[in-house]
Amino acid sequence: MPFNDHNSRTEIDATADLARLAAERVDAVSPDTADVFTYTVRNDESQQFHSLEKYLPNPRRQRGTTAVLDADSLNLLLAKVQHLDALGFADRANNRVTAILNYEGWGDHRIALHLKHSREWEHWARLDGDFLPQAIFAEHLQDGLSEIYNPPAADLVEIVRKFQAKRSLSFKSARDIANGEVQFEYVEETSEAGGGTAGTVEIPQVLTLRLPIYERGERYELLANFMYRLGPQGVAFGYKLDRAQEVVDAAFDAEVAKVTDSLPIAYGPAPEPVQPFTTESSR
């Protein structure tokens, strides 16, 4: 193919023009450890920012959330990190204490204390205010004997045994007696016509419980008021925890008090972290 000087000059000129345009439209910034951001202006005249922090040996700043299960662990971690502008939030509704270590900044470096209710508390709170059949009530008492401080466990074991052994009891009446108990009169039904053995059983009107509200927490005293209901289908038993929410609130406040020496506390839910501006903008 014959050499065409005009064609060569045209290609050279086009290449030079492209190079010139690229230089005008691309502004590359070389980052260093102090400023790791760069941007590129594309042909559509938009601007995009990139972080090269992942190429550094260590993050430029701490971020993320660490979850712990007790106040001692929260205090331990607070002692290991710098938190000059830290602020804690005690969220009673969610049983959570959140320490925001960079509250005056991005708010994304956190330690969250998740307080979990104890198995003992859940056992008694689960059926609070419910009426239960005789056998289920007896099993529930037996499973919670270790939390019952008064009356003595031996007395309650005897009541449980009566309920469990005499499944065919027909309760006729109930009355309060002077010693603070409720006395039930019953007839133990038999297969014999007109047969049946009469008897009585006494149940305390109030149970005194001592149990932890939160795992790894202190025990609190709580009263459970005995309930019963006589009806055509027989008798149903239950209990109502006295001022239960006040006890739970006191337990939560006690957990919060364990960290107030390490952290100023505000009551309420923790705010969300600050979100960086990420939308591309035109020059």
Question: Is residue 106 located within the same domain as residue 142?
Answer: no
Question: Is residue 88 located within the same domain as residue 174?
Answer: no
Question: Is residue 166 located within the same domain as residue 155?
Answer: yes
Give CB contacts under 8 A, 24+ apart, made by 89-96.
89/265, 89/266, 89/267, 89/268, 89/269, 89/270, 89/271, 90/252, 90/256, 90/265, 90/266, 90/267, 90/268, 91/268, 91/269, 91/270, 92/249, 92/252, 92/267, 93/269, 94/269, 95/214, 95/252, 96/270
Question: Is residue 92 located within the same domain as residue 80?
Answer: yes
- CA distances 92 to 66, 96, 209, Å, are 19, 7, 23
Asked if residue 105 belongs to a domain, the reply is yes
**Pick from 242, 259, 276: which residue ends a domain?**
242
Question: Is residue 106 located within the same domain as residue 144?
Answer: no
Question: Is residue 156 located within the same domain as residue 186?
Answer: yes
Please tell me the predicted confidence (pLDDT) of residue 76.
94
Question: Is residue 128 located within the same domain as residue 143?
Answer: yes
Asked if residue 32 belongs to a domain, the reply is yes
- End-to-end Cα, the chain, rounded Å: 47
Give the predicted TM-score (pTM) of the model. Answer: 0.74
Name every residue whose Cβ is closer than 8 Å to that of residue 99 and which is 6 or more positions away in sequence: 74, 78, 83, 86, 87, 88, 110, 111, 112, 113, 259, 263
Count of domains forming the chain: 3
Asked if residue 177 belongs to a domain, the reply is yes
Question: Is residue 97 located within the same domain as residue 137?
Answer: no
Asked if residue 256 belongs to a domain, the reply is yes
HEC sequence for the chain: CCCCHHHHHHHHHHHHHHHHHHHHHCCCCCCCCCCCEEEEECCCCEEEEEECHHHCCCCCCCCEEEEECCHHHHHHHHCCCCCCECEEEEEHHHCEEEEECECCCCCCEEEEEECCECHHHHHHHHCCCCEECHHHHHHHHHHCHHHEEECCHHHHHHHHHHHHHCCCEEEEEEEECCCCEEEEEEEECCCCCCCCEEEEEEEECEEEEEEECECCCCEEEEEEEEEEEEECCEEEEEEEECCHHHHHHHHHHHHHHCCCCCCCEEECCCCCCCCCCCCCEEC
Asked if residue 282 belongs to a domain, the reply is no
Q: What is the pLDDT along the chain (283 residues), one digit of tens a residue?
A: 454 555 555 666 666 665 665 555 545 555 554 554 555 555 555 555 667 777 778 888 888 999 999 999 999 999 988 777 899 999 999 999 999 999 999 999 999 999 999 999 999 999 999 998 878 888 898 899 999 999 887 777 777 776 655 556 666 656 665 556 777 777 776 555 455 677 777 778 899 999 999 999 999 999 999 888 877 666 788 999 999 999 999 999 999 999 988 899 999 999 999 987 655 433 3
* Enclosing domain of residue 94: 64-116+251-267
Question: Is residue 74 located within the same domain as residue 15?
Answer: no
Asked if residue 279 belongs to a domain, the reply is no
Asked if residue 90 belongs to a domain, the reply is yes
Please tell me the predicted confidence (pLDDT) of residue 210.
97
Question: Is residue 139 located within the same domain as residue 43?
Answer: no
Question: Is residue 235 located within the same domain as residue 128?
Answer: yes
Asked if residue 258 belongs to a domain, the reply is yes
Please tell me the predicted confidence (pLDDT) of residue 39.
54
**Pick from 56, 76, 94: which residue ends a domain?**
56
Question: Is residue 81 located within the same domain as residue 188?
Answer: no
As a whole number of angstroms, the distance between CA 208 and CA 155 comes to 13
